[in-house]
């Protein structure tokens, strides 16, 4: 839920007075448009006010709903209402935004697959990670009358490539065991019952389970699993599995930091991290990206301008980074010293 307004929270919990609901339905509350959107959806189950709430929801502008549906913490009830409204009316832009929001349940994509028009199904086809993780989405698309020869052909190609020809490669123990053991030890440090041998065994168990999975199962686990599992899966040779790790809604900044300090990851994966606006709001992530020689130079140049003097000084002496970045750090350091 987005709003922290106590009146909206009352309405959401179903504990508000009828008087408050009447003020709401007469639009006599000092609410933002977003707060009205949430509150009106929460009122819908009350049959006394259903019709009026539905009428008012129809007056909430599409830009407000589009802005809402892009948020990570969008309320599931409100998102569900917007989804069904978009399906009924065939709102292409709205359905596209819902497909692109990784935080919504798979059930949303299944409904889109069954009910949306062909143009939206083509957008859904571009979300290959979800289709590989949840092949039932493609099955639902095939039951949709809008699923024509082009879409069926694309589905066939995806199935042949990811479910018939691709074999999941074994992730070598040497690549992940030390890092995995360290992370598990850190996460379980308050548990005095766990000794080093038990921690290493937990790491091995995770690795062995993943090594017995198919590509589809690994992609699904990358989206839904825990930090330990994602740390194994980021080492998978399959780029689709690695990308799924980055698209997991559970990915936090501390995990991103582990990845950008891992020099074995490809420049493509580091580039995806560098292009994520949420992660690059974190100064430590920005610094780590500048220090990683695989960060695209144009992104590293834009990040280096945000760095503090102390870090610029260290970068100007770092022989492991790109000469372009090192030279720029030296110049920026001199500029800041002159300003002083």
Predicted confidence at residue 193, as pLDDT, reads 54
- For 304-314, what is the mean pLDDT? 92
Residue 219: closest CA among 153, 99, 135:
135
pTM to 2 decimal places: 0.83
Q: Is 277 helix (H, G, I), strand (E, B) or coil?
A: coil
**Which stretch, 3-12, 139-148, 174-183, 288-297, has highest mean pLDDT?**
139-148
Question: Confidence band (pLDDT; 50, 70, 90) for 1?
Answer: low
Rg value, the chain, Cα: 24
Tokens matching residue 159 = 């199935």
Condensed to tens digits (0 to 9), the pLDDT of residues 203-259 reads 788 889 999 999 999 999 999 999 889 989 999 999 999 999 999 999 999 999 999
Predicted confidence at residue 184, as pLDDT, reads 67
Contacts of residue 143, Cβ cutoff 8 Å, sequence gap at least 6: 114
Question: Confidence band (pLDDT; 50, 70, 90) for 292?
Answer: very high
Condensed to tens digits (0 to 9), the pLDDT of residues 137-192 reads 999 999 999 999 999 999 999 998 888 766 788 888 877 777 777 776 666 665 55
Predicted confidence at residue 322, as pLDDT, reads 83
- For 23-49, what is the mean pLDDT? 96
Predicted confidence at residue 266, as pLDDT, reads 92
Predicted confidence at residue 3, as pLDDT, reads 84
Average pLDDT over the chain, rounded to an integer: 91
Rounded distance, CA 64 to CA 27, Å? 16
Share of the chain above pLDDT 70, in %: 94
Predicted confidence at residue 196, as pLDDT, reads 65
Q: Where are the domains of the chain?
A: 6-123, 169-251, 264-340
The answer to whether the Cα torsion of 110, 112, 117, 118 is positive or negative is: negative
């Amino acid at each position: 839920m987005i709003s922290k307004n106590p009146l909206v929270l009352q309405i959401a919990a179903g504990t508000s007075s009828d008087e408050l609901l009447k003020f709401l339905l007469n639009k006599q509350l000092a609410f933002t448009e977003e707060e009205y959107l949430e509150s009106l959806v929460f009122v819908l189950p009350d049959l006394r006010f259903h019709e009026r709430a539905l009428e008012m929801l129809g007056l909430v502008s599409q830009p407000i709903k589009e802005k809402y549906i892009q948020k990570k913490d969008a309320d599931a009830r409100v998102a569900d209402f917007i989804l069904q409204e978009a399906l009924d009316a065939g709102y292409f832009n709205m359905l596209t935004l819902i497909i692109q929001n990784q935080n919504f349940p798979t059930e949303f994509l299944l409904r889109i697959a069954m009910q949306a028009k062909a143009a939206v199904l083509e957008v859904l086809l571009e979300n290959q990670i979800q289709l590989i993780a949840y092949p039932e989405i493609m099955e639902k698309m095939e039951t949709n009358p809008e699923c024509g020869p082009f879409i069926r052909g694309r589905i066939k190609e995806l199935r042949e490539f990811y479910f018939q020809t691709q074999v999941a490669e074994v992730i070598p123990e040497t690549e992940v065991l030390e890092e995995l053991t360290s992370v598990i030890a850190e996460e379980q440090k308050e548990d005095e019952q766990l000794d080093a041998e038990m921690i290493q065994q937990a790491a091995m168990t995770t690795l062995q389970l993943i090594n017995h999975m198919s590509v589809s199962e690994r992609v699904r686990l990358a989206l839904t699993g825990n930090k330990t599992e994602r740390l194994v899966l980021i080492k998978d040779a399959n780029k689709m599995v690695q990308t799924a790790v980055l698209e997991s809604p559970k990915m936090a900044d501390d995990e991103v930091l582990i990845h950008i300090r891992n020099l074995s990851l490809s420049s493509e994966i580091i580039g995806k991290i560098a292009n994520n606006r949420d992660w690059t709001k974190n100064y430590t992530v920005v610094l780590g990206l500048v220090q990683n020689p695989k960060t695209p130079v144009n992104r590293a140049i834009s990040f280096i301008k945000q760095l503090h003097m102390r870090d610029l000084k260290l970068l100007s002496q770092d022989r492991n980074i790109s000469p372009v970045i090192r030279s720029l750090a030296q110049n920026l350091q001199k500029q800041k010293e002159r300003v002083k």
